[in-house]
A and B are shown apart, each in its own frame.
Chain A
Amino acid sequence: MPHQFPISDKEIAEDILATEKSLSDWYHKTALEASHPQVKNLVSQIHQESLASSQNVFEYLNQRGHYQPRLADQQTMSWFSQSINKSRSSAHQNQGMRGGYGQSPQHGLRQPGLRPEPQQQYSGAGYQQVGQGQSPQSFEQQHGYGYGLTARHTGVGTGTPGITGGTAGGPGSGTQSYGYHPTAVSRHQRGQATTSGSTVGGGYGGSQRGMTVTGQTAESVSNQAISDQRSQNRTGETERTNLPNWARRGSTTDS
């Protein structure tokens, strides 16, 4: 006598998809947390595979009409476009004054509206978008920055546009690159910025809005370097001048 299971094929497939998504999430977080390169590579590889597995299950559900993502209507896409353009403008606001992101005019903001509108199509099992415009990679290549994990291979402060995103803490090239690489290598590179002097547009993000510590931007040095600088300048005014009166220790203006 066959067993009667209180679960349908649709529910089984949906649970499998949820499981695959959850696993993919686990691998994504593990890849972020991994510091050993071999572990990071392995986990990243499995993460990519898990995306393919999720796609297989999605296609099974989609072909049977169990999972059909609804296309956004024109109004939603209009709001979406405005929101994305607003985010883009906000992200690049005051960019010229900072100089650290180092976008030269030819690599400046893209004009809103030049991006081709996505053409959405249902094609069999999948959901496709055609004419989506630039991929994140090509965007990084154009703008010359990225959160690449390979920043250590790019040298110091070269500012070369590229997917690797330049370096963290370059000695003030003020050109294309900045990188985010919170590893020992990155800290070392940022540490170089503490001794290299100039900080015009360089360093960690290249922003000049950071606290001034002996002529360097706070963002161009590591936290340890900042701490060292502070201890060295304990008696100086450089650091204190950035504090309000009530926060200045030993200040004569304290009441």
Chain B
Amino acid sequence: MQLTVTETWWVEECAKAESLAAAKLRAYQQMCQDPQLRQLCQDLESRHRRRVDMIADATVSG
């Protein structure tokens, strides 16, 4: 896939932000007391990891 410089910058920033969010949510799962919040953190973490995969598959692997 041929991307513009602008696209690569924005998409790269999104992927970084997703990765960072996943790491933070993983840490929060250890910190939080509420089981419901812990479950929410787990769900969101998996979503963020999946998005990074989607971005990578579409822009690099594809």
Contacts and interface: CB of A to CB of B under 8 A. Distances in A.
A, B from the same assembly: yes
Interface of A: 3, 5, 7, 9, 12-13, 15-16, 19-20, 22-23, 26-27, 29-30, 33-36, 38-39, 42-43, 46, 49, 53, 56-57, 60
A12 B31 CA distance: 9
Contacts of A19: 21, 24
B32 A9 contact: yes
Given A12-B31, A30-B11, A49-B51, A42 B58 contact: yes
Interface string B6-18: 1100110110011
B61 to A, nearest CB: 13
B47 A53 contact: yes
Contact of B6 (A33, A38, A60): A33
Contact of A5 (B6, B31, B43): B31
A39 B54 contact: no
Contacts of A23: 14, 17-18, 21
Nearest to B41: A16
A20 B34 CA distance: 20
A53 B49 CA distance: 13
A35 B32 CA distance: 41
Contact of A26 (B13, B24, B58): B13
Given A39-B7, A56-B40, A46 B51 contact: yes
A16 B3 contact: no
